[in-house]
Every structure is written in structure tokens, then in C-alpha cells.
């Protein structure tokens, strides 16, 4: 099975871009987050630009809670700053990000990439 995500570290801005495309469910998102921790967990503070604009998802509320729980349990992700790009359709990833933000996590939702990067790199 192929992964429906790509990770790229941008050295100039010191952030990680997580790009999701196609059908992405719980396991795909968890796999991407585990790779971020494994490959970039040594960084003092993770800055993630999560691009969900080209992803399709049909996750349940319970699966969304699992994603939020994973982020809050992992020390590197708990301290991370996450900018989430989504479409105007306000997909389920945005709901998950709102749940994290409600728990005090540094997560914000964006429609415009330049605005997301300005906030992320501030």
C-alpha cells in the first residue's frame, strides 16, 4: 500500500511540510505523524505546515479523537506549532485541529498558504 502523504523539511524556514493527497484515513495520518516524530523529533520545536487541501477523508469523530490524542501524548508533537491548510469545505482535519486548539495546543486553521507560513514562522 502506498502512502498518501509527503514530508519535506524546509531548511530556510525550519519547518516541515506535510502534504496529504487522495483518500487519507486514520492509519495514513498516524503513519505521517510517526514519521515526523522519528525523522524530525530532535528539533527543539517542530513547526508543521499540514496541507489537507487535496486530501479526501471520511473519518469518524472517534478517529478524530485518536489523532488529537496522539498529538497530545507525543512530547515532540505536544510542543509543536501546527498550521493546517484546508479548503472552504471545512473538512474533518479542521475539526481535529479545532479540538487541539481548544486543549491549548498551538494549532491554527488557514485557507491561504502565505498566511499560514507567516503565522508558523513568527
CA angle 58, 93, 56 (to 5 degrees): 40
5-121 is classed in which CATH architecture?
3-Layer(aba) Sandwich (3.40)
| pTM, entire model | 0.87
Q: What is the DSSP string of the chain?
A: ---SEEEEEETTTTEEEEEEEEE--HHHHHHHHHHHHHHHTTSSS-EEEEEEEEEE----HHHHHHHHHHHHHSHHHHT-EEEEE--TT--HHHHHHHHHHHTT-EEEEESSHHHHHHHHH-
List, for residues 77-122, the tens digit of each pLDDT value: 999 999 989 887 755 556 666 667 666 778 888 999 999 999 999 8
List, for residues 27-71, the tens digit of each pLDDT value: 999 999 999 999 999 998 899 999 989 988 778 888 888 988 899
Amino acid at each position: 500500500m502506498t502512502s498518501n502523504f509527503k514530508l519535506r523539511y524546509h531548511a530556510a524556514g525550519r519547518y516541515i511540510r506535510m502534504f496529504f493527497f487522495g483518500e487519507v484515513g486514520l492509519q495514513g495520518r498516524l503513519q505521517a505523524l510517526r514519521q515526523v516524530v522519528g525523522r524530525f523529533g530532535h528539533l527543539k520545536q517542530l513547526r508543521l505546515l499540514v496541507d489537507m487541501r487535496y486530501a479526501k477523508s471520511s473519518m469518524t469523530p472517534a478517529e478524530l479523537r485518536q489523532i488529537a490524542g496522539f498529538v497530545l501524548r507525543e512530547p515532540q508533537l505536544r510542543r509543536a506549532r501546527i498550521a493546517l491548510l484546508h479548503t472552504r469545505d471545512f473538512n474533518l482535519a479542521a475539526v481535529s485541529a479545532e479540538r487541539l486548539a481548544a486543549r491549548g495546543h498551538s494549532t491554527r486553521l488557514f485557507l491561504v498558504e502565505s498566511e499560514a507560513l507567516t503565522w508558523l514562522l513568527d
